[in-house]
Amino acid sequence: MGDKKVIAVVGATGAQGGGLVRAILNDAQAGFAARALTRDVGSEKARELARMGAEVVAADVDDPESLKKAFAGAHGAFCVTFYWAHFSPEKEIAQAAAMARAAKDAEVRHVIWSTLEDTRRWVPLSDDRMPTLMGKYKVPHFDAKGEANHLFTDLGLPTTFLLTSFYWDNFIHFGSGPKKGPDGTLALTLPMDDKKLPGIAANDIGACAYGIFKKGPEYIGKTVGIAGEHLTGERMAASLTKALGREVRYNSVPPGVYRGFGFPGADDLGNMFQFKRDFNDAFCGARNVEVARSLYPGLQTFEQWLARNAGRIPLE
Ligand SMILES: NC(=O)c1ccc[n+]([C@@H]2O[C@H](COP(=O)([O-])OP(=O)(O)OC[C@H]3O[C@@H](n4cnc5c(N)ncnc54)[C@H](OP(=O)(O)O)[C@@H]3O)[C@@H](O)[C@H]2O)c1
């Protein structure tokens, strides 16, 4: 590892962090080394990262001491939280605080905080266009990340705030893909009307984060929003139709209907899509495809992502 700049990567066995680790390891001459943080260094995914050349270390974002050790001596730290593992905004905020503290103690030179908008800046709790959830949030998994931004600035950390986009991989892993309707036709159901949804291949988030670490100082103190493409539901359905060789139609539903779907987090996601729909110019404007491509020239379009992944989308 020697004189390489070590990047400590939280969530290294997951989507965003995994993309970053792979990007570092695939660019061995650039002077960076990957330190992969995991709760289980013996897991298959962790061992695979070690085989690829990453330094694998044990850490848990719920254990501040483990983070301190894992960040020690690092040049950079990639910080992400895991809302869907616990559905607790308060836990996310505590985890962000622990990561910020550990980065401060380690005197890390560059932090990337994977964040999202605090939607309450656009939709105050008094705005009843969407329900308030858990007593003080509109979009809990967004609001907590945005609220946590100040934890990094308050400590004077050299931070880049990375605004991410909807993963197209949700069509594979998160149950968001096309489903058969009563007439047997596949439908992509989203409460977005004719508005555009910024989306990205999850892997490319980490690859863009690597681009930010490489560019270094010019991104410190900045908010950078990334997407692979901004697409309407109609456009995504047309691309899915082409890639799957089966008709997929776009089924736009009101956000209230989406909130009522009943799966865990449906209310949070219904509010999220409504926020993206109602503040579409601001939301899309904050996520720049050209900036993302400048950070990672291999950035995938939706059709490129589908060419590699359509066969992995569960349809029945
Ligand atoms: N889905 C989307 O469209 C989307 C879009 C934008 C942002 N996001 C946000 O992305 C975040 C999740 O990032 P991701 O998708 O990269 O996660 P992910 O793929 O679910 O990866 C989670 C990884 O994090 C590790 N992890 C979980 N709990 C941990 C803990 N307590 N301490 C240390 N490591 C822990 C696990 O690794 P080990 O088991 O090896 O420890 C796991 O492999 C969420 O907060 C979500 O809101 C999602």
Portion of the chain with pLDDT greater than 90, in percent: 98
Q: For a substitution probing ligand 1, which of 82, 165, 268 has the most ligand atoms within 8 Å of its CB?
A: 82
Nearest CA to ligand 1 atom 24: 11
pLDDT value at residue 316: 76
Per residue in 228-269, pLDDT (tens digit) is 999 999 999 999 999 999 999 999 999 999 999 999 999 999
- Edge-first strand order for the sheet with 32-38 is 55-58, 32-38, 5-9, 76-79, 110-115, 159-163, 223-225
Per residue in 113-140, pLDDT (tens digit) is 999 999 999 999 999 999 999 999 999 9
Query: Is the pLDDT confidence value at 1 over 80?
Result: no
Per residue in 153-180, pLDDT (tens digit) is 999 999 999 999 999 999 999 999 999 9
Give the residue-averaged pLDDT of 37-61. Answer: 98
pLDDT value at residue 306: 98
| pTM for this entry | 0.98
Give the residue-averaged pLDDT of 55-77. Answer: 98
**Residues in the ligand 1 pocket, defined by CB under 6 Å:** 11, 13-17, 38-40, 43, 46, 60-62, 80-85, 141, 164, 166-167, 170, 174
Q: Smallest Cα–Cα separation from 75: which of 161, 7, 1, 157? A: 7
Task: Report the SS3 class of residue 298.
Answer: coil
Measure 83 CA to ligand 1 centroid, in angstroms. Answer: 7
CB 49 within 8 A of CB 35: no
Task: Report the SS3 class of residue 296.
Answer: coil
Work out the mean pLDDT of the chain and round it to a whole number. 97
pLDDT value at residue 269: 98
**Closest atom, ligand 1, to C-alpha of 43:** 40
pLDDT value at residue 126: 98
Query: Is the pLDDT confidence value at 18 over 60?
Result: yes
Give the residue-averaged pLDDT of 84-103. Answer: 98
Portion of the chain with pLDDT greater than 70, in percent: 99
